[in-house]
Amino acid sequence: MSYIDGFIVAVPEKNKEAYRRHAENALPFFKECGATRMVETWADDVPAGKVTDFRRAVKAKPDETVIFSWLEYPDRAARDTAAKKMQNDPKMKEIGANMPFDGQRMIYGGFKSISDKGKGGKPGYIDGSVTPVPAENESAYRDAATRAAAVLLENGATRVVDAWADDVPDGKVTDFKGAVNKQENERVVYSWIEWPSKDVRDAGWKRAMDDPRLKDRARPFDGKRLIYGGFRPILDA
């Protein structure tokens, strides 16, 4: 299964096009380093949570929105090779020097895919989530993710991916640990669902939530600290 570098970023709303161009300009370099896919998505339906949510995760200001993005690699070795190239290449310094957002509040980390269902393609809409899961529940979470993916794919989703924390550093200002109030015995899961459109997503979720295979199932994690939301792709290549 693929290896994922996941990111969450707070971007001033006025900088949406500047951010898209910034990502587009960086794309050839990331592909050159070994990434197989780069996806950038802009918050569209991101609710406020009682305990945690995407905006709080990156300390978003009133005039900022949230980016949910990722890079895909064939495996951890390819990702590590890419990271080494990026670290030593002047192009990366140039990219870092011209970011249209506050890089100190960017959340990032490496995740190993534990469930990847569906064929994907060019989605018109993305559901993104970050979940704290007790380390001993990895197998139970994988089973639950696989079961949920089957239902979602039957109801219009084209791909469902769940990835388990593997190389997730602590940050000075924000990080994945703080995003979900991670406890000592927990790991972070970075997940997304690809849909053809928001309309298909809305209808698909309505049917999925009524499916008996998903009803009355005990969750192998604390759902109150899960952060989730809907995002529109602004770059997918």
| 83-130 per-position pLDDT tens digit | 999 988 898 888 888 899 999 999 999 999 999 999 988 999 999 999
Q: What are the residue ranges of helices labelled H in the chain?
A: 16-33, 54-57, 76-88, 90-97, 138-154, 176-179, 198-209
Q: Any residues with CB less than 8 A from the CB of 219 and at least 6 apart, and which?
A: 144
**Which amino acid is located at 37 in the chain?**
R
Note the pTM of the prediction, 2 decimals: 0.97
CA angle 133/41/47 to nearest 5° reads 60
3-state SS string over 170-184?
CCCCCCHHHHCCCCC
Determine the average pLDDT of the residues in 182-186: 97
Binned at pLDDT 50, 70 and 90, residue 218 comes out as confident
Model confidence pLDDT, tens digit, residues 159-181 = 999 999 999 999 999 999 999 99
N-terminal to C-terminal alpha carbon distance within the chain? 19
Task: Please name which of 109, 229, 96 lies closest in space to residue 178, comparing C-alpha atoms.
Answer: 109
Angle 81-87-93 from CA coordinates, rounded to 5°: 140
pLDDT for the residue numbered 215: 81
Q: pLDDT tens for residues 21-75?
A: 999 999 999 999 999 999 999 999 999 999 999 999 999 999 999 999 999 999 9
**Angstrom distance (rounded) from CA 17 to CA 15:** 6
Q: What is the pLDDT of residue 95?
A: 84
Residue 216 has pLDDT above 90, yes or no: no
- The C-alpha atoms of residue 130 and residue 153 are separated, in whole angstroms, by 20
Calpha distance 187→225 (Å, rounded): 13
SS3 198: helix
What is the CATH class of 3-236? alpha beta
Identity of residue 186:
E
State residue 134's pLDDT score: 98
Residue 186 β-bridge partners = 134
The C-alpha atoms of residue 189 and residue 21 are separated, in whole angstroms, by 29
Structure tokens at 133: 């899961």
- Domain ranges (residues) in the chain: 3-236
Could you give the 3-state DSSP secondary structure of residue 153?
Answer: helix
Confidence (pLDDT) at 137: 98
Of the candidates 28, 29, 102, the residue with the CA atom closest to the CA atom of residue 67:
102
pLDDT of residue 99: 94
